[in-house]
Amino acid sequence: MNIRLVWTVFTTLLEGVGIAFLGLWLLPQIDFQLPLWVILLAEAVLLVSSVYFYHVGTVTLDQKPRTGSETIIGSSAVVVESVNPKGMIRLDGELWEAVTSGVSIPRGGEVVVVGRDKMRLWVKPK
């Protein structure tokens, strides 16, 4: 079972017990009566907000990274300085040093990034 779901259910139940304790026992001890519908409304708001935030959190945490080498590999780029076997390419508006294996790629050609080694990208013709 998913630990996030277990934690959400546990904390929601704990908060619900706290609201019920506050509204049904603690506040009447100091002569402050809350109608039952107010307590039930608070419990309903807690339940709905817990489900909503569980959904938003799960969607956010399950997303793949949008930065770093994971997004660079497979991207298309344009050759700025011929790659034979080293050269420069423009990828998403940034200049990168590129290396290819064997094939010369002229200026203006399109390449696909197939790997990365620190700040150098390995490319092949598109």
Residues 78 and 111 in one domain: yes
Whole-angstrom distance, CA of residue 125 vs CA of residue 58: 39
Q: Give me the mean pLDDT over the 103-109 stretch.
A: 92
Q: What CATH number has the domain bearing residue 75?
A: 2.40.50.140
Residues 46 and 87 in one domain: no
Q: Are 95 and 103 in contact (CB under 8 A)?
A: no
CB atoms closer than 10 angstroms to residue 83? 25
| pLDDT score, position 1 | 65
Residues 32 and 82 in one domain: no
| pLDDT score, position 77 | 95
Q: 18 is in which domain, residue-wise?
A: 3-61
In 1-126, which ranges are continuous DSSP H helix? 3-21, 27-29, 36-61, 69-72
Whether pTM > 0.85 for this model: the answer is no
Residues 48 and 86 in one domain: no
